[in-house]
Amino acid sequence: MLAGLFKIVETLFEVAIRRDYAPAWHPSVEFYRIEREGKLVGQFYLDPSARTGKRGGARMDDVRARWLRPDTGKLQTPVAHWSATSPKASTASRRC
């Protein structure tokens, strides 16, 4: 499913999404880079796995914003995190 989602994003926005490396808070967390015409335009962490102690639900937020750095005069690449975890609902907790 993720490969299909990435293919849609790549087609719509004319970008390439590639696996990359960055330190993360858990071994199951993946890191990706987004490139347009071979240039880095953004990066994101993907934390898709349910695990003990992890908050349920789905959310995305920025880790680092895109901005023009006054010290270098270059654009800082944005980084986001995407957590897509939904806990399994028990039949006792379901509401009709």
Domains parsed from the chain with CATH numbers: 2-85 (3.40.390.10)
Query: Model confidence over 29-79: pLDDT tens digits?
Result: 999 999 999 999 999 999 988 888 888 878 888 888 899 989 999 888 899
pTM: 0.77
Q: Which two tokens stand for residue 73?
A: 């005069």
User: Between the CA of residue 81 and those of 13, 30, 75, 90, what are the distances in Å?
Assistant: 19, 10, 19, 28
Whether the per-residue pLDDT at 9 is higher than 90: the answer is yes
